[in-house]
Amino acid sequence: MSATRRFAPLFLSALLATGATGLARAQPNDNPLLTVSPLPLHYPQFDKLRDEHFAPALDQGMAEQLAEIQAIAENPAAPTFDNTIVAWEKSGRLLNRATTLLFSLLGADANPARQQLQTDYAAKLAAQRDAVLLNPKLFARVEALYAQRDSAAPNAEARRLIERYRRDMLRAGAQLNDEQKTRMKAINGELATLSARFNKAVLAEVNDSAIVVDSAEELAGLSAAQIAAAAEAAKKRGLEGKYLIALLNTTIQPFETDLQNRALRERLHRASVARGARGNEFDTRAIVSRVMTLRQERAALLGYATPAAFVLEEETAKSADTVNALLRQLAPAAMASARQEAAELQKLIDSEQAARNQPSFALQAWDWSYYAEKLRAAKYGFDESQLKPYLEITSVLERGVFHAANQLYGISFKRRADLPVYRDDVRVYDVFDTNGKQLAIFIADLYARPSKRGGAWANAYVGQNALEGTSPVVANHLNIPKPPAGEATLLTWDEVNTLFHEFGHALHAMFNKSRYPGLARVPRDFVEYPSQVNEVWADWPSVLASYAKHYKTGAPMPRELLDKVARAKRFNQGYTTVSYLSAAIVDQRLHQLKAGEIPAAEGVVDFEARVLKEEGIAFGPVPPRYKLPYFSHIMGGYSAGYYAYIWSEVLDADTVEWLKAKGGLKRANGDALRAKMLSRGGSEDAMQLFRNLVGHEPDINPLLERRGLVVQKP
């Protein structure tokens, strides 16, 4: 979701998205980045910010941080927690402000100038991180504090912070010799540049691969609003009279559910899976190969057998063997469920084709979503089109997501229109705590746009910081297709769940009360846990009753439709699980390769296919959720970490059972979640936070029950 403020430049440049113009230098008195924003909670001055402000702020910020770090390292006084660790915590404010805004906007609203900045500064920011973490005098001070941490730290949280800084420096290469450090710096600089190139190429390829359709008749199955939006998108590209289907970054495209034209579904699907491997200027296979080669070399320099071993040491899973065991435990049951689902879909296809006196055809990947929706309608008596009129975006957000948070935690929300935004359709809300005092500002950026990276995510423009007295400014970003002007935005059930999920991340950031910013982060395979727990409220009866109202009449969703939704919870879970596990397994296998095993560019796609076959999870009708040439997660903050979603879901499903046993949507449960987990950040071992909350070790059975999977124990 976000990085610690000390190292935000490198982490964010890898995690966020997405070139081409020179930038004029802004004068200091014209640059809002050079001073703390005077707006409430230091909310960004989007209305005053121009692209040419970034370079001067980055340059000055890097210089200031290096001077601050050098002063700490050269301090003649003996190292203390305050003059070393706290001083480090307070360093780099300007650089953090500039990088946070730049990389947040690169994800949400990229343009050529911002992309060029990312390209220009990727290696510089990596070098900045190395200059801090590989500073030998700074490491000597941290090492001295670590040796006497029991007496040097004023409390347990401070001791943990000393340990955190030392571990960060060791993992950066602080104990390498000079020659090794030189090579490490070169690796980090090249990786940062490659990450910027990959993200830029993925965004460009998504836009370049959009499907142009000649007639509205070919779009049969789409709603009038969707067809109008496709016509408007084509018009914006100068294709008057045609229709444009924009792609999202996942393999399966949303319109595959609705399009009746099988040939168009196939065309859409093939365009999706070909991205990044077409041999054009946006081909990313060489980048993937080179990144993996460099990651392997970096891991070896630091004494790790593979990049996965390096990454997983810091996660709650701890080892590749543990992750492999979980994924391989789930894969056979998921495949069995997916094959059973496929057989049902094939029967439906055969039946329909026979009724038309037409030859049948074998189920393909571009058929699955379309026929699955038909099968759901047949089995449970409803389809997505019946739900959507009751899922209007504002109602879901304000009377659903916010309502659940109010009932559970006692916090309240008020929309405000006086703060500047970077796009007109971005919404801003004040968030008030139980005592009526302002807790945070929440930004909701919910609509897709060509300048926005794919997927959904949360980030903090301003983090909670007890040392500096700042409160959070937190944003959620989704990619919901925007309807034509005047039309209501009606969500799919998956989009509803995504809204609740991402707000779980926002709550985690809002409630954090770690004294030290360096302890704000949690392991990647834990960070999804609170957000996945928050999804439970999407179909909680009292929450649904609050927001699921017809967008025209205000009538509540009929009880029988609610019951059908509940009964269909396990529907298509084999498909969903296999699609996810395929990507997670490929990620792990790729990062578990040793030197000499990394595939060359031309072998990247074949490597993926071979892994799926070897792991027994290759199934043509169910492709991986992401394929390697556009798998942005693993080129950024989730390298060797895409398993985190299913790992976190084990904790999530177990916690949901705890919530249900405790009465569900009650303030007492919210208070416990907030006090024992959401407010703690990384101030305590992540798994201990889980145990403190639910009172036992994680149990996989609630996850299996939720997904309808039966797993054989090893």
- For the annotated catalytic residues, the residue numbers are 502
Instruction: Report how far residue 208's alpha carbon sits from residue 283's, in angstroms, rounded to the nearest whole number.
Output: 12
381, amino acid identity: G
Q: Is 147 exposed, middle or buried (0-12, 13-18, 19+ CB in 10 A)?
A: exposed
Nearest to 618 by CA among 582, 577, 572: 582
Q: Is 515 exposed, middle or buried (0-12, 13-18, 19+ CB in 10 A)?
A: middle
| 355 within 8 A of 369, measured Cβ to Cβ | no
Place of tokens 């104990």: 175
| 693 within 8 A of 672, measured Cβ to Cβ | yes
Contacts of 188 (CB under 8 A, 6+ apart): 10, 126, 127, 129, 130, 298
| CA 385 from centre of chain | 27
| CA 637 from centre of chain | 9
| 269 within 8 A of 211, measured Cβ to Cβ | no
Instruction: Report how far residue 624's alpha carbon sits from residue 603's, in angstroms, rounded to the nearest whole number.
Output: 17
Instruction: Report how far residue 346's alpha carbon sits from residue 352's, in angstroms, rounded to the nearest whole number.
Output: 10
Element (H, E) at 643: none
Nearest to 425 by CA among 493, 343, 489, 499: 489
Give 220's DSSP letter: B
| 71 within 8 A of 42, measured Cβ to Cβ | no
Place of tokens 């705590």: 433
Instruction: Report how far residue 211's alpha carbon sits from residue 203's, in angstroms, rounded to the nearest whole number.
Output: 15
- Taking the CA atoms of residue 378, residue 383, residue 386 and residue 391 in that order, the dihedral angle to the nearest 10 degrees is 150
Q: Is 638 exposed, middle or buried (0-12, 13-18, 19+ CB in 10 A)?
A: buried
Phi and psi angles of residue 8, each rounded to the nearest 5 degrees, phi first:
-55, -40
| 66 within 8 A of 128, measured Cβ to Cβ | yes
What are the residues facing 556 on neighbouring strands?
549
Element (H, E) at 83: none
Place of tokens 């971005």: 426
Tokens matching residue 400: 């659903």
Contacts of 418 (CB under 8 A, 6+ apart): none
Instruction: Report how far residue 172's alpha carbon sits from residue 191's, in angstroms, rounded to the nearest whole number.
Output: 14
Q: Is 708 left (phi over 0), alpha (psi -120 to 50) or beta?
A: left
283, amino acid identity: D
Using only C-alpha atoms, what is the Rg of the chain?
25
Instruction: Report how far residue 643's alpha carbon sits from residue 667's, in angstroms, rounded to the nearest whole number.
Output: 32
Contacts of 428 (CB under 8 A, 6+ apart): 415, 416, 417, 419, 421, 441, 442, 443, 444
Instruction: Report how far residue 135's alpha carbon sits from residue 176's, in angstroms, rounded to the nearest whole number.
Output: 11
